[in-house]
Amino acid sequence: MQFTDFGLDSRLMSTVEHLGFLEPTEIQQQAIPAAMAGHDLIASSKTGSGKTLAFIIPAMQRLIRNRALSKRDPRVLILMPTRELAKQVFTQLRLFTTGSQFKAVLILGGENFNDQVKTLHKDPHFIVATPGRLSDHLSQGHFYLKGLELLILDEADRMLDLGFSKQLKQINSAADHRKRQTLMFSATLDHAQVNEFALALLKKPKRIAIGSAH
């Protein structure tokens, strides 16, 4: 299988080619078409298996192909457990958004709050964030999630282990509408709280487990 088999928008396909990627990894082969078909996903595969592009590619495709639900609200929200991981994902995302019509911002704990308020007021299409700080901005009304199309929870097991369940529930409720799609990634699906969250947040999810007995 090759990236050309997904039927990606040509601008998106040329970015993938620019990055030098030809063959999708196993998780990408399964997650990209399922996400593009509109399914919610709960997916696991080991570190280094290419999960980031497994959600960035369908997210970009959706933004290019679908009309926005809202002019102002973010269309895609990517939540990561730590600042370091959020920065890494943001760097990969920027390879796709740079030179496109889509604006991506990074909202991390420990950085200047008021600068972030200004950033959020510029109506970005993508937000990559850690849950604690994003939740503070949401509580204070610095942005809204009514128009959110895609919620991505990466390393969901770690986010829950770090105690972010309250923030994740708040963010989920703020973006609770029929047209929202949710993609959840976890190192393991053998995690009680991950499964509890999957039940609460996902609609008829497809389960994808690479390299495990499930």
Instruction: Among 49, 70, 165, 170, indicate the residue that binds ligand ADP (CB under 6 A).
Output: 49
Quote the least distance from Cβ 52 to Mg ion, whole Å. 5
| 79 part of the interface to ligand ADP, by CB under 6 A | no
Decide if residue 52 touches ligand ADP (CB under 6 A): yes
Angle of helix 51-65 relative to helix 10-18, nearest 10 degrees, comes to: 150
CB neighbours (10 Å) of residue 87? 13
In whole angstroms, what is the distance from residue 81 CA to residue 88 CA? 12
How many CB atoms within 10 Å of residue 94?
Answer: 13
Q: How far is the CB of 80 from Mg ion (least distance, A)?
A: 8
Q: What is the DSSP letter of 5?
A: G
Q: Side chain identity at 23, as an amino acid letter?
A: E
d(CA 24, CA 3) in angstroms, rounded, equals 6
- Shortest Cβ 78–ligand ADP spacing (Å): 12
- For residue 144, the partner it binds in Mg ion, ligand ADP, none, with Cβ less than 5 to 8 A by kind, is none
x/- contact string, 40-79, with Mg ion (CB under 5 A)? -----------x----------------------------
Site for ligand ADP in 4-43 (CB under 6 A): 21, 23-25, 28
Instruction: Compute the least distance from the CB of residue 162 to ligand ADP, in Å.
Output: 17
Q: Which helix (H) or strand (E) element contains residue 116? A: helix 113-120
Query: Smallest gap, in angstroms, from Cβ of residue 4 to ligand ADP?
Result: 13
Q: Give the sign of the dihedral formed by CA 203, CA 57, CA 86, CA 67.
A: negative
Tokens of 214: 């499930």
**Under the rule (CB under 6 A), what is the footprint of ligand ADP?**
21, 23-25, 28, 47-53
**Under the rule (CB under 5 A), what is the footprint of Mg ion?**
51
